[in-house]
Amino acid sequence: MSLHQRHPQHDENMIDSAFDGGVGSIPKHRLPRHTQSADAAMRFVQDELMLDGNARQNLATFVTTWMEPQAATLIQESLEKNIIDKDEYPQSAEIERRCVNILANLWHASTPAGGADAVGCSTTGSSEAAMLAGMALKWRWRARQEAAGADATKPNLVMGANVQVCWEKFARYWDVEARLVPLDGATHLTAAQAAAACDENTIGVVAVLGSTFDGSYEPVAEIAAALDALQTSTGLDIPLHVDAASGGFIAPFLDQDLRWDFRLDRVKSINASGHKYGLVYPGVGWVVWRSADDLPKDLIFSVDYLGGSMPTFALNFSRPAAQVIAQYYTLVRYGFDGYQRIQQRARDIATTIAKGVEQLGVFTLISWGDELPVLAFSLTTPDAFTVYDLSHELRSFGWIVPAYPMPEGMADVDVLRVVVRNGFTFDLAGMFLSDLAASVERLAGKAPDRVAFHH
Ligand SMILES: *Cc1c(COP(=O)(O)O)cnc(C)c1O
Protein backbone atom coordinates (compact mmCIF):
# COMPACT_ATOMS: atom_id res chain seq x y z
CA MET A 1 0.00 0.00 0.00
CA SER A 2 1.25 3.43 -0.87
CA LEU A 3 1.19 5.81 2.07
CA HIS A 4 -0.19 8.51 -0.16
CA GLN A 5 -3.55 7.55 -1.65
CA ARG A 6 -5.77 9.59 -3.92
CA HIS A 7 -9.51 9.49 -3.42
CA PRO A 8 -10.67 6.23 -4.88
CA GLN A 9 -12.91 6.66 -7.89
CA HIS A 10 -14.23 3.91 -10.04
CA ASP A 11 -12.22 2.87 -13.06
CA GLU A 12 -9.26 3.94 -11.00
CA ASN A 13 -6.76 1.55 -12.38
CA MET A 14 -6.21 2.76 -15.92
CA ILE A 15 -5.08 6.03 -17.45
CA ASP A 16 -6.32 6.79 -20.94
CA SER A 17 -4.43 9.12 -23.21
CA ALA A 18 -5.74 12.67 -23.29
CA PHE A 19 -5.51 13.00 -27.06
CA ASP A 20 -6.02 10.30 -29.61
CA GLY A 21 -2.48 9.44 -30.52
CA GLY A 22 -3.36 5.80 -30.99
CA VAL A 23 -1.61 5.09 -27.70
CA GLY A 24 -4.54 3.51 -25.90
CA SER A 25 -4.39 3.31 -22.15
CA ILE A 26 -1.91 2.11 -19.57
CA PRO A 27 -2.46 0.56 -16.14
CA LYS A 28 -1.77 2.81 -13.15
CA HIS A 29 -0.59 0.39 -10.54
CA ARG A 30 0.95 -2.39 -12.59
CA LEU A 31 3.92 -2.34 -14.90
CA PRO A 32 2.58 -1.91 -18.46
CA ARG A 33 3.15 -4.99 -20.60
CA HIS A 34 4.40 -3.07 -23.64
CA THR A 35 6.97 -0.40 -24.28
CA GLN A 36 5.70 3.11 -25.06
CA SER A 37 7.45 5.55 -27.32
CA ALA A 38 9.39 8.14 -25.32
CA ASP A 39 7.01 10.88 -26.50
CA ALA A 40 3.89 8.97 -25.54
CA ALA A 41 5.35 8.14 -22.10
CA MET A 42 6.30 11.76 -21.53
CA ARG A 43 2.80 12.86 -22.53
CA PHE A 44 1.20 10.45 -20.05
CA VAL A 45 3.37 11.73 -17.25
CA GLN A 46 2.94 15.39 -18.19
CA ASP A 47 -0.82 15.00 -18.28
CA GLU A 48 -0.82 13.44 -14.83
CA LEU A 49 1.24 16.32 -13.45
CA MET A 50 -0.94 18.99 -15.04
CA LEU A 51 -3.24 18.98 -12.02
CA ASP A 52 -0.45 19.80 -9.58
CA GLY A 53 -0.89 23.28 -8.12
CA ASN A 54 0.63 26.56 -9.24
CA ALA A 55 3.67 26.97 -7.03
CA ARG A 56 3.63 30.77 -7.17
CA GLN A 57 0.29 30.82 -5.34
CA ASN A 58 1.39 28.28 -2.77
CA LEU A 59 1.83 30.29 0.41
CA ALA A 60 2.05 27.11 2.47
CA THR A 61 5.49 25.79 1.65
CA PHE A 62 8.89 27.01 2.75
CA VAL A 63 10.56 25.12 -0.07
CA THR A 64 12.09 26.82 -3.10
CA THR A 65 9.86 26.85 -6.16
CA TRP A 66 11.95 28.94 -8.51
CA MET A 67 15.61 28.97 -9.51
CA GLU A 68 17.42 30.73 -12.29
CA PRO A 69 17.70 28.89 -15.62
CA GLN A 70 21.48 28.75 -15.13
CA ALA A 71 20.93 26.76 -11.93
CA ALA A 72 18.53 24.48 -13.79
CA THR A 73 21.23 23.94 -16.44
CA LEU A 74 23.78 22.99 -13.79
CA ILE A 75 21.29 20.61 -12.22
CA GLN A 76 20.53 19.11 -15.62
CA GLU A 77 24.23 18.67 -16.32
CA SER A 78 24.88 16.91 -13.03
CA LEU A 79 21.78 14.76 -12.79
CA GLU A 80 23.75 11.53 -13.10
CA LYS A 81 26.21 12.37 -10.34
CA ASN A 82 26.04 10.43 -7.10
CA ILE A 83 27.29 12.43 -4.14
CA ILE A 84 28.57 9.35 -2.30
CA ASP A 85 30.91 8.51 -5.17
CA LYS A 86 33.58 10.88 -4.05
CA ASP A 87 36.31 9.16 -6.04
CA GLU A 88 34.43 9.33 -9.30
CA TYR A 89 33.29 12.90 -8.63
CA PRO A 90 36.00 14.50 -6.51
CA GLN A 91 34.98 17.98 -7.57
CA SER A 92 31.41 17.43 -6.40
CA ALA A 93 32.85 16.33 -3.07
CA GLU A 94 35.05 19.41 -3.00
CA ILE A 95 32.02 21.60 -3.71
CA GLU A 96 30.12 19.98 -0.85
CA ARG A 97 33.10 20.69 1.43
CA ARG A 98 33.19 24.32 0.34
CA CYS A 99 29.47 24.74 1.01
CA VAL A 100 29.96 23.30 4.52
CA ASN A 101 32.84 25.72 5.14
CA ILE A 102 30.91 28.69 3.78
CA LEU A 103 27.97 27.94 6.06
CA ALA A 104 30.19 27.21 9.07
CA ASN A 105 31.89 30.56 8.58
CA LEU A 106 28.58 32.34 8.05
CA TRP A 107 27.43 30.82 11.36
CA HIS A 108 30.66 31.87 13.10
CA ALA A 109 32.23 28.49 13.72
CA SER A 110 35.86 28.99 14.67
CA THR A 111 37.49 26.94 11.97
CA PRO A 112 41.25 26.82 12.63
CA ALA A 113 42.63 26.22 9.14
CA GLY A 114 41.57 29.54 7.70
CA GLY A 115 37.94 28.46 7.63
CA ALA A 116 38.61 25.39 5.52
CA ASP A 117 38.06 22.44 7.82
CA ALA A 118 34.61 22.77 9.29
CA VAL A 119 32.85 19.61 10.47
CA GLY A 120 29.59 19.02 8.66
CA CYS A 121 27.89 17.53 5.63
CA SER A 122 25.06 17.90 3.18
CA THR A 123 21.86 15.98 3.77
CA THR A 124 18.58 15.40 1.97
CA GLY A 125 17.05 18.20 4.03
CA SER A 126 16.77 19.40 7.60
CA SER A 127 15.00 16.19 8.58
CA GLU A 128 18.03 14.03 7.81
CA ALA A 129 20.21 16.74 9.38
CA ALA A 130 18.10 16.50 12.55
CA MET A 131 18.58 12.72 12.64
CA LEU A 132 22.36 13.11 12.35
CA ALA A 133 22.60 15.94 14.89
CA GLY A 134 20.26 14.10 17.25
CA MET A 135 22.34 10.93 17.02
CA ALA A 136 25.52 12.86 17.81
CA LEU A 137 23.78 14.25 20.93
CA LYS A 138 22.58 10.81 21.96
CA TRP A 139 25.96 9.14 21.43
CA ARG A 140 27.81 11.83 23.38
CA TRP A 141 25.31 11.70 26.25
CA ARG A 142 25.61 7.90 26.43
CA ALA A 143 29.41 8.11 26.51
CA ARG A 144 29.20 10.68 29.35
CA GLN A 145 26.78 8.53 31.33
CA GLU A 146 28.83 5.38 30.85
CA ALA A 147 32.02 7.17 31.84
CA ALA A 148 30.30 8.33 35.02
CA GLY A 149 28.92 4.84 35.68
CA ALA A 150 25.39 6.26 35.39
CA ASP A 151 22.27 4.81 33.78
CA ALA A 152 22.31 5.34 30.02
CA THR A 153 18.96 3.85 29.05
CA LYS A 154 16.47 6.71 29.34
CA PRO A 155 17.59 9.60 27.14
CA ASN A 156 15.35 12.61 26.58
CA LEU A 157 15.48 15.59 24.25
CA VAL A 158 14.07 18.93 25.41
CA MET A 159 12.24 21.12 22.91
CA GLY A 160 9.16 23.31 22.53
CA ALA A 161 5.84 21.78 21.48
CA ASN A 162 6.26 23.94 18.37
CA VAL A 163 9.15 21.90 16.93
CA GLN A 164 8.85 20.59 13.40
CA VAL A 165 7.73 16.97 13.14
CA CYS A 166 11.26 15.80 12.23
CA TRP A 167 12.26 16.08 15.91
CA GLU A 168 9.38 13.90 17.00
CA LYS A 169 10.45 11.47 14.30
CA PHE A 170 14.02 11.55 15.56
CA ALA A 171 12.85 10.81 19.09
CA ARG A 172 10.62 7.94 18.04
CA TYR A 173 13.00 6.36 15.53
CA TRP A 174 16.00 6.57 17.87
CA ASP A 175 14.18 5.70 21.08
CA VAL A 176 14.59 8.99 22.86
CA GLU A 177 11.88 10.57 25.01
CA ALA A 178 10.57 13.67 23.24
CA ARG A 179 10.24 16.15 26.07
CA LEU A 180 7.89 18.59 24.36
CA VAL A 181 7.36 21.68 26.47
CA PRO A 182 3.84 23.14 26.02
CA LEU A 183 3.68 26.80 25.00
CA ASP A 184 3.13 29.13 27.90
CA GLY A 185 2.77 32.80 27.19
CA ALA A 186 4.96 32.73 24.06
CA THR A 187 4.45 31.02 20.70
CA HIS A 188 7.64 29.02 21.24
CA LEU A 189 10.05 27.62 23.83
CA THR A 190 11.33 30.07 26.46
CA ALA A 191 14.67 29.97 28.28
CA ALA A 192 13.20 29.25 31.71
CA GLN A 193 11.08 26.42 30.36
CA ALA A 194 14.03 24.85 28.53
CA ALA A 195 16.28 24.82 31.59
CA ALA A 196 13.50 23.58 33.88
CA ALA A 197 12.80 20.58 31.64
CA CYS A 198 16.40 19.30 31.68
CA ASP A 199 17.79 16.54 33.87
CA GLU A 200 20.77 14.15 33.83
CA ASN A 201 19.15 12.17 31.01
CA THR A 202 18.78 15.14 28.68
CA ILE A 203 20.89 14.58 25.58
CA GLY A 204 20.36 18.17 24.46
CA VAL A 205 17.98 21.07 23.95
CA VAL A 206 16.71 21.99 20.50
CA ALA A 207 16.09 25.69 19.88
CA VAL A 208 14.31 26.62 16.66
CA LEU A 209 15.42 29.64 14.70
CA GLY A 210 12.21 30.27 12.89
CA SER A 211 9.28 28.27 14.22
CA THR A 212 7.34 26.37 11.60
CA PHE A 213 4.08 27.45 13.20
CA ASP A 214 4.48 31.23 13.06
CA GLY A 215 8.02 32.04 11.86
CA SER A 216 9.10 33.45 15.22
CA TYR A 217 12.67 33.02 16.46
CA GLU A 218 13.19 31.18 19.73
CA PRO A 219 15.45 33.15 22.09
CA VAL A 220 18.57 31.06 21.46
CA ALA A 221 20.96 33.31 23.41
CA GLU A 222 18.63 33.35 26.42
CA ILE A 223 18.23 29.58 26.25
CA ALA A 224 22.02 29.24 26.11
CA ALA A 225 22.40 31.55 29.12
CA ALA A 226 19.78 29.60 31.07
CA LEU A 227 21.68 26.37 30.33
CA ASP A 228 24.93 28.06 31.44
CA ALA A 229 23.23 28.99 34.71
CA LEU A 230 21.90 25.44 35.05
CA GLN A 231 25.44 24.12 34.70
CA THR A 232 26.69 26.53 37.36
CA SER A 233 23.99 25.52 39.83
CA THR A 234 23.70 21.77 39.13
CA GLY A 235 26.76 20.73 37.14
CA LEU A 236 24.55 19.53 34.25
CA ASP A 237 26.25 20.43 30.98
CA ILE A 238 23.49 20.27 28.36
CA PRO A 239 24.44 20.87 24.72
CA LEU A 240 22.27 23.11 22.56
CA HIS A 241 21.36 22.31 18.96
CA VAL A 242 19.85 25.05 16.78
CA ASP A 243 17.29 23.98 14.20
CA ALA A 244 17.83 26.84 11.79
CA ALA A 245 16.02 25.09 8.93
CA SER A 246 14.77 28.47 7.72
CA GLY A 247 16.53 31.00 9.94
CA GLY A 248 20.02 29.74 9.07
CA PHE A 249 19.68 31.49 5.72
CA ILE A 250 17.78 34.54 7.03
CA ALA A 251 19.37 35.71 10.29
CA PRO A 252 22.99 35.90 8.99
CA PHE A 253 21.83 38.39 6.37
CA LEU A 254 19.09 40.37 8.10
CA ASP A 255 19.77 40.07 11.84
CA GLN A 256 23.53 40.22 12.06
CA ASP A 257 23.55 41.34 15.68
CA LEU A 258 21.35 38.50 16.81
CA ARG A 259 23.51 35.93 18.60
CA TRP A 260 22.04 32.52 17.84
CA ASP A 261 24.91 30.58 16.29
CA PHE A 262 28.41 29.29 17.16
CA ARG A 263 29.16 32.67 18.76
CA LEU A 264 27.36 31.07 21.71
CA ASP A 265 29.65 28.42 23.26
CA ARG A 266 26.63 26.36 24.24
CA VAL A 267 25.64 25.80 20.59
CA LYS A 268 27.20 22.52 19.45
CA SER A 269 25.46 21.96 16.13
CA ILE A 270 23.22 23.73 13.63
CA ASN A 271 21.08 22.50 10.75
CA ALA A 272 19.52 24.38 7.86
CA SER A 273 17.50 23.52 4.77
CA GLY A 274 19.30 24.49 1.58
CA HIS A 275 15.99 24.02 -0.20
CA LYS A 276 14.15 26.61 1.90
CA TYR A 277 15.69 30.07 2.23
CA GLY A 278 18.95 28.58 0.93
CA LEU A 279 17.16 29.08 -2.41
CA VAL A 280 17.74 25.62 -3.94
CA TYR A 281 15.16 23.21 -5.38
CA PRO A 282 14.10 20.41 -3.00
CA GLY A 283 16.62 17.83 -1.89
CA VAL A 284 19.34 19.55 0.12
CA GLY A 285 20.02 20.36 3.76
CA TRP A 286 23.07 21.00 5.91
CA VAL A 287 24.37 20.14 9.34
CA VAL A 288 27.47 21.62 10.93
CA TRP A 289 29.10 20.79 14.26
CA ARG A 290 31.03 23.22 16.39
CA SER A 291 34.13 21.00 16.40
CA ALA A 292 35.25 17.46 15.67
CA ASP A 293 34.73 16.67 19.37
CA ASP A 294 31.01 17.23 18.98
CA LEU A 295 30.64 14.48 16.39
CA PRO A 296 31.43 11.04 17.88
CA LYS A 297 33.90 9.12 15.74
CA ASP A 298 31.95 5.86 15.83
CA LEU A 299 29.10 7.46 13.88
CA ILE A 300 31.43 7.96 10.94
CA PHE A 301 31.85 5.08 8.52
CA SER A 302 34.70 4.64 6.16
CA VAL A 303 33.65 3.31 2.77
CA ASP A 304 36.14 1.87 0.36
CA TYR A 305 34.06 0.06 -2.23
CA LEU A 306 33.93 2.98 -4.61
CA GLY A 307 37.72 3.27 -4.72
CA GLY A 308 39.69 5.18 -2.09
CA SER A 309 38.65 5.40 1.53
CA MET A 310 36.04 8.00 2.38
CA PRO A 311 34.51 8.98 5.69
CA THR A 312 30.73 9.20 5.56
CA PHE A 313 28.01 10.17 8.01
CA ALA A 314 24.60 9.97 6.39
CA LEU A 315 21.43 7.93 6.47
CA ASN A 316 21.45 7.32 2.75
CA PHE A 317 24.24 5.93 0.67
CA SER A 318 23.49 7.14 -2.87
CA ARG A 319 22.03 10.60 -3.27
CA PRO A 320 22.02 13.14 -6.10
CA ALA A 321 24.93 15.59 -6.19
CA ALA A 322 22.91 18.02 -8.31
CA GLN A 323 21.30 19.88 -5.41
CA VAL A 324 24.63 20.37 -3.67
CA ILE A 325 26.06 21.76 -6.89
CA ALA A 326 23.01 24.02 -7.19
CA GLN A 327 23.60 25.21 -3.62
CA TYR A 328 27.15 26.13 -4.49
CA TYR A 329 25.83 28.01 -7.52
CA THR A 330 23.44 30.09 -5.39
CA LEU A 331 26.17 30.88 -2.85
CA VAL A 332 28.58 31.96 -5.60
CA ARG A 333 25.91 33.71 -7.64
CA TYR A 334 24.19 35.77 -4.95
CA GLY A 335 26.98 36.26 -2.47
CA PHE A 336 26.25 37.96 0.83
CA ASP A 337 24.69 41.01 -0.82
CA GLY A 338 22.38 39.01 -3.02
CA TYR A 339 21.09 36.83 -0.18
CA GLN A 340 20.61 39.94 1.93
CA ARG A 341 18.66 41.69 -0.82
CA ILE A 342 16.45 38.67 -1.57
CA GLN A 343 15.69 37.92 2.09
CA GLN A 344 15.07 41.59 2.90
CA ARG A 345 12.58 41.80 0.07
CA ALA A 346 10.79 38.68 1.35
CA ARG A 347 10.65 40.24 4.81
CA ASP A 348 9.37 43.56 3.42
CA ILE A 349 6.62 41.76 1.52
CA ALA A 350 5.71 39.67 4.57
CA THR A 351 5.47 42.70 6.87
CA THR A 352 3.42 44.52 4.23
CA ILE A 353 0.99 41.61 4.08
CA ALA A 354 0.85 41.58 7.89
CA LYS A 355 -0.20 45.24 7.94
CA GLY A 356 -2.79 44.61 5.24
CA VAL A 357 -4.19 41.65 7.16
CA GLU A 358 -4.44 43.75 10.30
CA GLN A 359 -6.25 46.52 8.42
CA LEU A 360 -9.00 44.09 7.46
CA GLY A 361 -10.08 44.46 11.09
CA VAL A 362 -11.10 40.86 11.76
CA PHE A 363 -7.75 39.21 12.46
CA THR A 364 -5.32 39.01 15.36
CA LEU A 365 -1.70 38.79 14.21
CA ILE A 366 0.32 36.04 15.91
CA SER A 367 3.50 37.02 14.05
CA TRP A 368 4.36 39.93 11.79
CA GLY A 369 6.79 38.56 9.22
CA ASP A 370 9.66 40.46 10.84
CA GLU A 371 11.65 37.38 11.86
CA LEU A 372 11.18 34.68 9.22
CA PRO A 373 9.23 36.27 6.36
CA VAL A 374 6.24 34.33 7.62
CA LEU A 375 3.07 35.51 9.30
CA ALA A 376 0.37 33.69 11.19
CA PHE A 377 -2.96 35.18 12.15
CA SER A 378 -6.17 34.07 13.78
CA LEU A 379 -9.75 35.33 13.58
CA THR A 380 -10.36 37.73 16.46
CA THR A 381 -13.91 36.37 16.87
CA PRO A 382 -14.17 33.00 15.15
CA ASP A 383 -17.94 32.74 15.66
CA ALA A 384 -19.47 33.17 12.24
CA PHE A 385 -16.79 31.30 10.29
CA THR A 386 -13.39 29.75 10.93
CA VAL A 387 -9.89 29.98 9.50
CA TYR A 388 -10.59 26.56 7.96
CA ASP A 389 -13.50 28.08 6.02
CA LEU A 390 -11.22 30.90 4.95
CA SER A 391 -8.48 28.54 3.83
CA HIS A 392 -11.09 26.73 1.73
CA GLU A 393 -12.45 29.99 0.31
CA LEU A 394 -8.96 31.19 -0.64
CA ARG A 395 -8.54 27.98 -2.67
CA SER A 396 -11.22 29.24 -5.01
CA PHE A 397 -8.83 32.05 -5.93
CA GLY A 398 -5.97 29.57 -6.34
CA TRP A 399 -4.20 30.43 -3.05
CA ILE A 400 -2.95 27.65 -0.85
CA VAL A 401 -2.89 28.93 2.72
CA PRO A 402 -2.87 26.30 5.44
CA ALA A 403 -5.03 26.56 8.57
CA TYR A 404 -4.16 24.65 11.72
CA PRO A 405 -4.28 24.84 15.51
CA MET A 406 -1.21 26.16 17.35
CA PRO A 407 0.70 23.54 19.40
CA GLU A 408 -0.10 22.34 22.91
CA GLY A 409 -0.49 25.23 25.31
CA MET A 410 -2.09 27.38 22.62
CA ALA A 411 -4.11 24.70 20.88
CA ASP A 412 -7.34 26.68 21.24
CA VAL A 413 -5.99 29.19 18.71
CA ASP A 414 -6.44 28.31 15.05
CA VAL A 415 -4.32 30.20 12.57
CA LEU A 416 -3.72 30.81 8.90
CA ARG A 417 -0.07 30.99 7.87
CA VAL A 418 1.51 32.80 4.95
CA VAL A 419 5.11 31.98 3.94
CA VAL A 420 6.77 34.53 1.66
CA ARG A 421 9.50 33.10 -0.57
CA ASN A 422 11.72 34.28 -3.38
CA GLY A 423 9.44 34.61 -6.40
CA PHE A 424 6.64 36.32 -4.51
CA THR A 425 6.08 40.00 -5.35
CA PHE A 426 4.41 43.08 -3.89
CA ASP A 427 1.99 42.79 -6.78
CA LEU A 428 1.00 39.23 -5.82
CA ALA A 429 0.80 40.35 -2.18
CA GLY A 430 -1.75 43.00 -3.21
CA MET A 431 -3.81 40.39 -5.07
CA PHE A 432 -3.63 38.05 -2.13
CA LEU A 433 -4.88 40.75 0.25
CA SER A 434 -7.79 41.66 -1.97
CA ASP A 435 -8.72 37.97 -2.37
CA LEU A 436 -8.49 37.55 1.40
CA ALA A 437 -10.81 40.54 1.86
CA ALA A 438 -13.23 39.08 -0.72
CA SER A 439 -13.13 35.71 1.06
CA VAL A 440 -13.94 37.33 4.39
CA GLU A 441 -16.81 39.21 2.79
CA ARG A 442 -18.23 36.11 1.13
CA LEU A 443 -18.09 34.11 4.32
CA ALA A 444 -19.54 36.93 6.39
CA GLY A 445 -22.35 37.20 3.82
CA LYS A 446 -23.07 33.47 4.12
CA ALA A 447 -22.90 33.44 7.88
CA PRO A 448 -26.15 32.25 9.49
CA ASP A 449 -26.62 35.44 11.53
CA ARG A 450 -26.86 37.51 8.34
CA VAL A 451 -29.81 37.92 5.99
CA ALA A 452 -29.40 35.51 3.06
CA PHE A 453 -27.98 37.01 -0.08
CA HIS A 454 -30.59 37.70 -2.80
CA HIS A 455 -29.93 38.11 -6.48
C1 LIG B 1 11.09 22.47 7.33
C2 LIG B 1 11.63 22.32 8.68
C3 LIG B 1 12.25 21.13 9.06
C4 LIG B 1 12.33 19.94 8.13
O5 LIG B 1 13.11 20.29 7.04
P6 LIG B 1 13.16 19.52 5.65
O7 LIG B 1 14.29 20.22 4.98
O8 LIG B 1 11.84 19.75 4.98
O9 LIG B 1 13.43 18.09 5.93
C10 LIG B 1 12.79 21.06 10.30
N11 LIG B 1 12.71 22.09 11.16
C12 LIG B 1 12.11 23.26 10.84
C13 LIG B 1 12.08 24.37 11.84
C14 LIG B 1 11.55 23.41 9.59
O15 LIG B 1 10.95 24.56 9.26
Q: What is residue 453's predicted lDDT score, i.e. its pLDDT?
A: 44
Q: Determine the residue type at 175.
A: D
Pocket of ligand 1 (CB under 6 A): 62, 125-127, 164, 166, 208, 210, 212, 243, 245-246, 273, 285
For ligand 1, pick from 122, 273, 286, 404 the residue to mutate: most ligand atoms within 8 Å of CB: 273
What DSSP element (H or E) covers 240?
A: strand 240-243
- Hey, where are the domains in the chain? 1-37, 72-331
* Centre of ligand 1 from the C-alpha of residue 166, in Å: 7
Q: Which of 162, 168, 206, 243 to mutate to test the pocket of ligand 1 (most atoms within 8 A of CB)?
A: 243
What letter would DSSP give residue 452?
P
CA pair distance 268, 130, nearest whole angstrom? 13
Which residue among 126, 173, 280, 316 is best mutated to probe the pocket of ligand 1, counting the most ligand atoms within 8 A of its Cβ? 126
One-character DSSP codes across 229-265 = HHHHHH-----EEEE-TTGGGTHHHH-TT---STTST
Beta-bridge mates of residue 242: 207, 270
Q: Which pLDDT score, from 0 to 100, does residue 22 have? A: 60
**Substitution candidate for ligand 1 out of 168, 212, 319 with most atoms within 8 A of CB:** 212
Nearest CA to ligand 1 atom 14: 245
Helices 90-106 and 322-359, axial angle in degrees (round to 10): 40
Q: Give, for all 455 residues of the chain, the pLDDT tens digit.
A: 566 665 555 567 887 776 665 667 888 889 988 888 898 888 888 888 888 877 888 999 999 999 999 999 999 999 999 998 888 888 888 999 999 999 999 999 986 656 678 899 999 999 999 999 999 999 999 999 999 999 999 999 999 999 999 999 999 999 999 999 999 989 999 999 999 999 999 999 999 999 999 999 999 999 999 999 999 999 999 999 999 999 999 999 999 999 999 999 999 999 999 999 999 999 999 999 999 999 999 898 877 766 666 678 889 999 999 999 999 999 999 999 999 999 999 999 999 999 999 999 999 999 999 999 999 999 999 788 999 999 999 999 999 999 999 999 999 999 999 999 998 999 999 999 999 999 999 999 876 554 444 44
The dihedral region occupied by 414, where left means phi > 0, alpha psi between -120 and 50, and beta the remainder, is beta
Cα of 276 vs centre of ligand 1, distance in Å, is 8
Task: Report the 10 Å Cβ neighbour count for 114.
Answer: 8
End-to-end CA distance of the chain: 49
Tell which atom from ligand 1 comes closest to the C-alpha of 128: 9
139-163 tens-digit pLDDT: 999 999 999 999 999 999 999 999 9
Q: Report CA(284)–ligand 1 centroid distance (Å).
A: 11
Residue 196 pLDDT: 98
Q: How far is the CA of 59 from the centre of ligand 1 (A)?
A: 16
Which ligand 1 atom is nearest residue 246's CA?
15
Taking the CA of residue 285 as reference, the ligand 1 atom at the shortest distance is 7
Q: Alpha-carbon distance 312 to 291, whole Å?
A: 16
| Res 82: pLDDT | 92
Ligand 1, atom nearest to 275 Cα: 7
pLDDT of 451:
45
- The pLDDT, as a whole number, for residue 452 is 44
Classify domain 72-331 at the CATH topology level. Answer: Aspartate Aminotransferase; domain 2 (3.40.640)
